[in-house]
Amino acid sequence: MTSSEENYIKGIFHLSQGGQHSITTSALAEKMETKPSSVTDMVKRLSEKGLLHYKKYQGVRLTEKGTAHALKVIRKHRLWEVFLVDKLNFAWDQVHEVAEQLEHIESEMLVDRLDALLNFPEFDPHGDPIPDKEGRFKTREKNLLSTMPAMSRGICVGVKDSSSQFLKFLDKHHIELGNTIEILERESFDRSMHIQIGTRKLQISHQIASNLYVKPQPE
Protein backbone atom coordinates (compact mmCIF):
# COMPACT_ATOMS: atom_id res chain seq x y z
CA MET A 1 0.00 0.00 0.00
CA THR A 2 1.11 3.54 -0.68
CA SER A 3 1.46 6.07 2.13
CA SER A 4 -1.55 7.94 0.75
CA GLU A 5 -3.70 4.80 0.82
CA GLU A 6 -2.68 4.12 4.40
CA ASN A 7 -3.51 7.70 5.37
CA TYR A 8 -6.99 7.29 3.91
CA ILE A 9 -7.86 4.07 5.74
CA LYS A 10 -6.48 5.55 8.95
CA GLY A 11 -8.64 8.64 8.40
CA ILE A 12 -11.75 6.50 7.81
CA PHE A 13 -11.01 4.50 10.97
CA HIS A 14 -10.71 7.65 13.08
CA LEU A 15 -13.94 9.10 11.66
CA SER A 16 -15.76 5.84 12.36
CA GLN A 17 -14.81 6.05 16.04
CA GLY A 18 -17.38 8.80 16.39
CA GLY A 19 -20.13 6.18 16.13
CA GLN A 20 -20.90 6.63 12.42
CA HIS A 21 -21.61 3.40 10.55
CA SER A 22 -20.70 4.86 7.16
CA ILE A 23 -18.47 7.84 6.42
CA THR A 24 -19.55 10.29 3.73
CA THR A 25 -17.05 11.23 1.05
CA SER A 26 -17.51 14.90 1.98
CA ALA A 27 -16.55 14.17 5.62
CA LEU A 28 -13.55 12.21 4.39
CA ALA A 29 -12.56 15.03 2.03
CA GLU A 30 -12.64 17.46 4.96
CA LYS A 31 -10.60 15.05 7.10
CA MET A 32 -8.00 14.55 4.37
CA GLU A 33 -8.07 18.23 3.35
CA THR A 34 -8.61 17.43 -0.31
CA LYS A 35 -11.27 17.64 -3.04
CA PRO A 36 -14.28 15.28 -3.01
CA SER A 37 -13.34 14.10 -6.52
CA SER A 38 -9.93 12.98 -5.26
CA VAL A 39 -11.61 11.12 -2.39
CA THR A 40 -13.94 9.31 -4.82
CA ASP A 41 -10.99 8.11 -6.90
CA MET A 42 -9.17 6.85 -3.82
CA VAL A 43 -12.11 5.04 -2.24
CA LYS A 44 -12.78 3.25 -5.53
CA ARG A 45 -9.16 2.08 -5.54
CA LEU A 46 -9.32 0.96 -1.90
CA SER A 47 -12.61 -0.81 -2.58
CA GLU A 48 -10.99 -2.77 -5.41
CA LYS A 49 -8.28 -3.85 -2.97
CA GLY A 50 -10.89 -5.17 -0.54
CA LEU A 51 -10.08 -2.58 2.14
CA LEU A 52 -13.44 -0.84 2.28
CA HIS A 53 -17.05 -1.06 1.20
CA TYR A 54 -18.16 1.77 -1.07
CA LYS A 55 -21.47 2.51 -2.75
CA LYS A 56 -22.17 5.81 -4.43
CA TYR A 57 -24.21 8.16 -2.19
CA GLN A 58 -24.05 5.65 0.69
CA GLY A 59 -20.63 6.47 2.13
CA VAL A 60 -17.74 4.17 2.95
CA ARG A 61 -16.81 1.77 5.74
CA LEU A 62 -13.74 -0.34 6.28
CA THR A 63 -13.77 -4.07 5.70
CA GLU A 64 -12.25 -6.39 8.30
CA LYS A 65 -9.06 -6.37 6.23
CA GLY A 66 -9.10 -2.57 6.06
CA THR A 67 -9.66 -2.20 9.80
CA ALA A 68 -6.78 -4.57 10.58
CA HIS A 69 -4.44 -2.57 8.36
CA ALA A 70 -5.59 0.76 9.80
CA LEU A 71 -4.84 -0.52 13.31
CA LYS A 72 -1.34 -1.57 12.23
CA VAL A 73 -0.64 1.96 10.95
CA ILE A 74 -2.08 3.52 14.11
CA ARG A 75 0.01 1.16 16.25
CA LYS A 76 3.20 2.25 14.48
CA HIS A 77 2.28 5.93 14.71
CA ARG A 78 1.62 5.85 18.44
CA LEU A 79 4.66 3.70 19.25
CA TRP A 80 6.87 6.14 17.38
CA GLU A 81 5.32 9.01 19.34
CA VAL A 82 6.23 7.26 22.60
CA PHE A 83 9.76 6.65 21.32
CA LEU A 84 10.23 10.27 20.26
CA VAL A 85 9.06 11.59 23.64
CA ASP A 86 10.62 8.99 25.95
CA LYS A 87 13.89 8.28 24.15
CA LEU A 88 14.65 11.37 22.06
CA ASN A 89 13.15 14.01 24.37
CA PHE A 90 10.74 15.49 21.86
CA ALA A 91 7.94 17.61 23.32
CA TRP A 92 4.46 16.10 22.92
CA ASP A 93 3.49 18.89 20.52
CA GLN A 94 6.40 18.03 18.20
CA VAL A 95 5.88 14.32 17.56
CA HIS A 96 2.78 14.04 15.37
CA GLU A 97 4.28 15.14 12.06
CA VAL A 98 7.43 13.04 12.56
CA ALA A 99 5.35 9.98 13.48
CA GLU A 100 3.24 10.58 10.35
CA GLN A 101 6.38 9.84 8.32
CA LEU A 102 7.62 6.93 10.43
CA GLU A 103 4.26 5.13 10.53
CA HIS A 104 4.68 3.97 6.93
CA ILE A 105 7.80 1.86 7.63
CA GLU A 106 6.79 -1.68 6.71
CA SER A 107 9.15 -3.83 8.82
CA GLU A 108 7.08 -5.76 11.38
CA MET A 109 10.29 -6.90 13.08
CA LEU A 110 11.31 -3.29 13.66
CA VAL A 111 7.89 -2.40 15.10
CA ASP A 112 7.89 -5.45 17.39
CA ARG A 113 11.35 -4.58 18.69
CA LEU A 114 10.33 -0.95 19.14
CA ASP A 115 7.33 -2.12 21.18
CA ALA A 116 9.58 -4.30 23.36
CA LEU A 117 12.17 -1.53 23.78
CA LEU A 118 9.43 0.76 25.10
CA ASN A 119 8.17 -2.00 27.46
CA PHE A 120 4.90 -2.49 25.58
CA PRO A 121 3.20 0.86 26.31
CA GLU A 122 -0.60 0.88 26.32
CA PHE A 123 -1.08 4.62 25.69
CA ASP A 124 0.75 7.25 23.66
CA PRO A 125 1.91 10.68 24.96
CA HIS A 126 -1.53 12.16 24.21
CA GLY A 127 -3.41 9.46 26.12
CA ASP A 128 -4.60 7.52 23.07
CA PRO A 129 -4.55 3.69 23.29
CA ILE A 130 -1.88 1.78 21.37
CA PRO A 131 -3.12 -1.36 19.58
CA ASP A 132 -1.08 -4.50 20.19
CA LYS A 133 0.18 -6.79 17.43
CA GLU A 134 -3.27 -8.38 17.09
CA GLY A 135 -5.04 -5.01 16.90
CA ARG A 136 -6.40 -5.14 20.45
CA PHE A 137 -6.19 -2.03 22.59
CA LYS A 138 -7.04 -1.08 26.13
CA THR A 139 -9.93 1.24 26.89
CA ARG A 140 -10.54 3.22 30.06
CA GLU A 141 -13.32 5.28 31.49
CA LYS A 142 -12.96 8.91 30.52
CA ASN A 143 -15.20 11.95 30.22
CA LEU A 144 -14.66 15.33 28.66
CA LEU A 145 -13.85 17.82 31.39
CA SER A 146 -16.63 20.06 30.05
CA THR A 147 -19.24 17.44 31.03
CA MET A 148 -18.08 17.12 34.65
CA PRO A 149 -20.21 18.78 37.36
CA ALA A 150 -18.93 21.40 39.77
CA MET A 151 -17.21 20.09 42.91
CA SER A 152 -16.13 16.88 41.12
CA ARG A 153 -12.61 15.88 40.18
CA GLY A 154 -10.77 13.63 37.76
CA ILE A 155 -7.33 12.67 36.53
CA CYS A 156 -6.35 14.10 33.14
CA VAL A 157 -5.84 11.07 30.86
CA GLY A 158 -5.93 12.47 27.33
CA VAL A 159 -6.64 15.22 24.85
CA LYS A 160 -9.28 15.35 22.14
CA ASP A 161 -7.38 18.02 20.22
CA SER A 162 -3.77 16.97 19.67
CA SER A 163 -2.83 19.99 17.56
CA SER A 164 0.47 21.69 18.31
CA GLN A 165 -1.33 24.92 19.23
CA PHE A 166 -3.50 23.24 21.86
CA LEU A 167 -0.65 21.22 23.37
CA LYS A 168 1.50 24.34 23.60
CA PHE A 169 -1.37 26.09 25.38
CA LEU A 170 -1.51 23.24 27.93
CA ASP A 171 2.26 23.41 28.43
CA LYS A 172 2.06 27.18 28.95
CA HIS A 173 -0.49 26.68 31.72
CA HIS A 174 1.21 23.58 33.15
CA ILE A 175 -1.70 21.25 32.42
CA GLU A 176 -0.52 17.71 31.68
CA LEU A 177 -1.58 14.08 31.72
CA GLY A 178 -1.67 12.70 35.23
CA ASN A 179 -2.84 15.97 36.80
CA THR A 180 -5.75 15.73 39.22
CA ILE A 181 -8.21 18.44 38.18
CA GLU A 182 -10.89 19.64 40.57
CA ILE A 183 -13.83 21.59 39.15
CA LEU A 184 -14.55 24.45 41.56
CA GLU A 185 -17.21 26.36 39.66
CA ARG A 186 -18.85 26.60 36.24
CA GLU A 187 -19.89 29.98 34.80
CA SER A 188 -23.43 29.87 33.35
CA PHE A 189 -22.77 32.78 30.97
CA ASP A 190 -19.97 31.33 28.86
CA ARG A 191 -19.62 27.81 30.40
CA SER A 192 -16.03 28.52 31.39
CA MET A 193 -14.68 26.65 34.41
CA HIS A 194 -12.74 27.54 37.51
CA ILE A 195 -10.47 24.59 38.25
CA GLN A 196 -7.72 23.67 40.68
CA ILE A 197 -4.62 21.63 39.89
CA GLY A 198 -2.57 21.01 43.00
CA THR A 199 -2.34 24.39 44.70
CA ARG A 200 -2.97 26.34 41.49
CA LYS A 201 -6.36 27.80 40.61
CA LEU A 202 -7.17 28.95 37.10
CA GLN A 203 -10.08 29.65 34.78
CA ILE A 204 -10.36 27.83 31.46
CA SER A 205 -12.76 28.31 28.57
CA HIS A 206 -15.44 25.86 27.53
CA GLN A 207 -13.39 25.13 24.40
CA ILE A 208 -10.40 24.06 26.49
CA ALA A 209 -12.56 21.94 28.80
CA SER A 210 -14.14 20.30 25.74
CA ASN A 211 -10.75 19.04 24.60
CA LEU A 212 -9.48 17.48 27.84
CA TYR A 213 -10.35 13.93 28.87
CA VAL A 214 -10.44 13.06 32.56
CA LYS A 215 -11.00 9.83 34.46
CA PRO A 216 -13.55 10.64 37.17
CA GLN A 217 -12.35 10.16 40.74
CA PRO A 218 -14.54 9.31 43.74
CA GLU A 219 -15.19 12.05 46.24
Split into its structural domains, the chain has a count of 3
Q: In this structure, are 153 and 123 located in the same domain?
A: no
pTM of the predicted model, to two decimals? 0.91
44: CATH = 1.10.10.10
Residue 96: band (very low, low, confident or very high) from pLDDT cuts 50, 70, 90: very high
Q: In this structure, are 99 and 125 located in the same domain?
A: yes
Read off the DSSP letter of residue 119: T
Q: In this structure, are 57 and 16 located in the same domain?
A: yes
Q: In this structure, are 115 and 90 located in the same domain?
A: yes
Read off the DSSP letter of residue 128: P
Would you say residue 40 lies in a domain?
yes
pLDDT (tens digit per residue) in 107-134: 999 999 999 999 999 999 999 999 999 9
pLDDT (tens digit per residue) in 65-76: 999 999 999 999
- Phi first, then psi, for residue 38 (nearest 5°) are -70, -35
Q: Which domain holds residue 196?
A: 143-217
Q: In this structure, are 153 and 199 located in the same domain?
A: yes
Task: Tell me the average pLDDT across 80-106.
Answer: 96
Would you say residue 159 lies in a domain?
yes
pLDDT (tens digit per residue) in 139-181: 889 999 999 999 999 999 999 999 999 999 999 999 999 999 9
